[in-house]
Structure 1
Amino acid sequence: MQNKFLVPVALLSVVLIGVFAWNVHQDTQRVYELTLATGRKTGYYYPFGQAIAEVVMQQNPRLRIKVVETEGAEENMRRLEANEAQLAIALNDTAAVPQARVIASLFKEVFHLIVSEQSGIQSVSDLKGKHIALTRKSSIAYISFWLLSKHYGLKPSDFQFTPGDWTEATKLFASGEVDAIFRVAPLGSDLVSDLLQNTPGKLVPIDQAAAMKIKWPYLQADLIPKGTYKAAPAVPDVDLPTVGVEATLLVRQDVDPVIVKEITRILFEHRRNLVTANRLAAMISQPSESGGLALPVHEGAQAYYDREKPDFFAANSDVIGLSFSFVTLFVSWLLQLRSRFLQKQKNRADKFNLIILNLIQRIRQAGTFEEIDRLQEELFEIFKQVIGDLDKDRIDADSFHSFTFTWETALKIAAEREKALRNLSLVSHDLKADFTDIKKIEN
């Protein structure tokens, strides 16, 4: 009787194991495609989105992000809600939608109110009766301007305003057809710098950010440091108070937490690659409660931020679910497999380190620039192999960090050896020249 009972249980366990293995195989082969809504190609968000898409695919080829151009924040939110985009970039002064969740704060932008010298504008209140160039109606800066004007008690009927792109606005400003331009841009913006250096314009302080924050908590008091846009004479000539907002990366609530956690990991752990593609990536940070869109952080991103916190059930939920069916049959086997896997990772990482040490010795003995170039190419090929192994879990993160230290040391030694050869070549050239001169004197 017992044998009749054990046979079906054993068969069921085998079936469960097969189903689990098939699901794991399918997951490891699947490619996930996401759409990222950004902004106009001439703005800041589209190129930043391209940098994110490029680095994410480099680090995890199974994640493909399609970057789409949009008219601005309002369209991004609509696309996110309609599932026409799964990711979006928006400033935190944009009206949010129910499906939106936060991944990370990307970079800070500040309000820039630029006025002509002859306009007589000294403060935001002085805009009354003036002509202002704004961005397109669906843009972030357009929305932000009306928050600002509302705080200062200005109505649309109090002044004339012309929406348009940056090129149109600067032409109107340079010709004197408008008195002021309002933009929301990162500190040190090249566009703002060119305008201030090539037209008789100046920045006007916006000094009531703390008061505005009472009504709009996502706004922050900020400064445009003295000399940001020109050193001599300094533009601005003092630290200028203004309002700051954060550009935020959003995701739909229903996107798989595993995917969102991986994107978050890449943003923070491969920031150097992102900065190479777009310098604004240096400011990526974990979203704060005081500076966000009053939206919760996506559970996948939160899982990454909480990675150091001990949470046994969350970290081992898959193992616990699987073990429920056949824990008594396979616990010892799983432990042995894990031990072998970890040892295999360590052995593979050690092999790469030994290869690098051997290359270092060859670099030190290199006698030509061509030989150093070949050795450097070998270093980069090894680095590609290690990145591939890291992505496929053939080595672990700790071993990778150890490898990168050795690899960077090899690059430095190669640079030093190249410099030494160059110096030796110069000395040799000088000696030959001296010898030639001596022979001429003797003749």
Structure 2
Amino acid sequence: MQNKFLVPVALLSVVLIGAFGSKLHQDKQGVYELTLATGNKTGNYYPFGQAIAEVVMQQNPRLRIKVVETQGADENMRRLQANEAQLAIVQNDTVAVPQGRVIASLFKEVFHLIVSEQSGIQSVSDLKGKHIALMAQGSGSYSSFWLVSQHYGLKASDFKSTPGSWTEGTKLFASGEADAIFWVLPPGSDLVSQLLQNTRANLVPIDQGAAMKIKLPYLEANLIPKGTYKAAPAVPDTDLPTVGVEATLLVRQDVAPEIVKEITRILFEHRRTLVAANRLATMISEPSGSGSFALPIHEGAQAYYDREKPDFLAENSDVIGLCFSFVTLFVSWLWQLRARFLQKQKKRADKFNLIILNLIQRIRQAGSFDEIDRLQEELFDIFKQVIGDLDRDRIDSDSFHSFTFTWETALKIAAEREKALRNLSLVSHDLKADLTAVKKMEN
């Protein structure tokens, strides 16, 4: 009887062990496919999502992210809730959904209200009776505009609004049909720069960001620095008050923690590669938890953030008591060390800025195309050095943004000098031709 009983048990054990081993092997060798909802291809979210997908695939071929174009943050939230997407990039002023969880803060964005010079609009309140072009319904920019208009006491009936794509909006604005256009973009956006260069337009301040934060804690009072879009004459011509939000990477709650932890690891440990694909990646950071979504951090992302945190209090409670008297001395030393570190970062950033300023002077004095090419190569070599220093924390992100502004200015000056040399060459050629013609006539 015992042998009859043991045989089926042994067979069942073999089957279970085989099934478990097969499942374990599939888990180790399987490919995980995720869909990332982003935004319009002409905006920032779609190319940023592509950069994430490419770098994640490079670092872990088992993780494949499909990037899909959408109308923006509101639609992304709906897709996340409906499991049409497992990842989404959204503004942190977007209405959250229960299935959403936070992975990381990606980059800062600010509200841009651009108006035509002839519109007479000097403040948000002046939009009354005007025509404003908005981004498509379902986008974060569209929702953000209504937060601003409601704060300033404007109703939808107070003005005409036309939602659509950025291309449609700029056409309305350029033709004079729209008096203003609103979008939420990172400071220094090329899209805004092109619009300001190609039309007679101004940026209008949104100067009540601190007041808006009282009811909407995820908003931040912010500034568009003087000269962000043009150095001389400066555009804007003074630091311009506005409102800031954060682009945030969300994931569904039910995505496996180990997958989310791996994505989070790649975002932070391979940030240099991400920056090479999309410079906005310099601003990726751990979620602060203050003023953001009413959503927790996904447990997989939190596991990455907690990877080096020791259980110090539980294991060393007696030692803490003995060392309490040394806390003040230690904090003082740490503060001095931090101050020295920050000063060192600033000095290094200042050194790069001085090098760029010297190059600008040499570019302005350049007398040949070859010389300009060599100076441009120097500019790109310096940029690579700064990216490396940023990755190694030898300079901070604020200093990096300051450097990129100076660096981009140098590139523009190089282009202008090259154009000037080309025009000078043409004039010289024409003069030589004229002199030759005169000599022939004299002969």
Q: TM-score, normalised by structure 2?
A: 0.66
* Counterpart position of 2:115: 115
Residue 33 of structure 1: SS of its match in structure 2? strand
* Counterpart position of 2:131: 131
Deviation per CA, 1:1-48: give whole Å up to 9, x if none. Answer: xxxxxxxx9999999987765544332111111111111112111111
Residue 137 of structure 2: SS of its match in structure 1? coil
Q: Distance in 2 between matches of 1:242 and 1:305?
A: 31
| 1:286-325 correspondence to structure 2 within 5 Å | 286-310=286-310
Structure 1: tracts of 5 or more residues without a match: 1-8, 313-400, 402-443
Deviation per CA, 1:158-196: give whole Å up to 9, x if none. Answer: 111111222222222222221111111111110100111
Deviation per CA, 1:237-268: give whole Å up to 9, x if none. Answer: 11111000111100000000000000000000
Q: Distance in 2 between matches of 1:12 and 1:165?
A: 62
Q: CA RMSD in A?
A: 2.4
Deviation per CA, 1:32-70: give whole Å up to 9, x if none. Answer: 111111111121111111111110010000001111111
Residue 276 of structure 2: SS of its match in structure 1? helix
The answer (yes or no) to whether the contact 1:102–1:296 under 8 Å persists in 2 is yes
* Counterpart position of 2:45: 45
* The structure with more radius of gyration: 1
* Counterpart position of 1:229: 229
Deviation per CA, 1:95-130: give whole Å up to 9, x if none. Answer: 111000000011111000011112111111111111
Structure 2 counterpart of 1:26, which letter?
Answer: Q
The answer (yes or no) to whether the contact 1:246–1:291 under 8 Å persists in 2 is no
Q: Distance in 2 between matches of 1:114 and 1:255?
A: 40
* Counterpart position of 2:248: 248
Tell me, yes or no, if structure 1 residue 66 matches structure 2 residue 66.
Answer: yes
Residue 40 of structure 1: SS of its match in structure 2? coil
Q: Distance in 2 between matches of 1:140 and 1:219?
A: 13
Deviation per CA, 1:130-182: give whole Å up to 9, x if none. Answer: 11111111111110000000000000111111112222222222222211111
* Counterpart position of 1:177: 177
* 1:310–1:24 Cα change, 3 Å: farther
Structure 2: tracts of 5 or more residues without a match: 1-8, 313-391, 393-443
Structure 2 counterpart of 1:140, which letter?
Answer: G
- Structure 1 runs of 4+ aligned residues shifted over 4 Å read 9-23
Q: TM-score, normalised by structure 1?
A: 0.66
Q: Distance in 2 between matches of 1:270 and 1:16?
A: 40
Count of aligned positions: 307
Q: Distance in 2 between matches of 1:17 and 1:177?
A: 72
Q: Distance in 1 between matches of 2:75 and 2:181?
A: 23
Residue 230 of structure 1: SS of its match in structure 2? coil
The answer (yes or no) to whether the contact 1:151–1:212 under 8 Å persists in 2 is yes
Residue 26 of structure 1: SS of its match in structure 2? helix
Structure 2 counterpart of 1:95, which letter?
Answer: V
Deviation per CA, 1:403-429: give whole Å up to 9, x if none. Answer: xxxxxxxxxxxxxxxxxxxxxxxxxxx
Structure 2 counterpart of 1:182, which letter?
Answer: F
* Counterpart position of 1:193: 193
The answer (yes or no) to whether the contact 1:103–1:297 under 8 Å persists in 2 is yes
* Counterpart position of 2:370: none
* Counterpart position of 2:102: 102
Residue 296 of structure 2: SS of its match in structure 1? coil
Structure 2 counterpart of 1:280, which letter?
Answer: L
Greater displacement, 261-270 / 194-203: 194-203
Tell me, yes or no, if structure 1 residue 267 matches structure 2 residue 292.
Answer: no
Identity %: 82
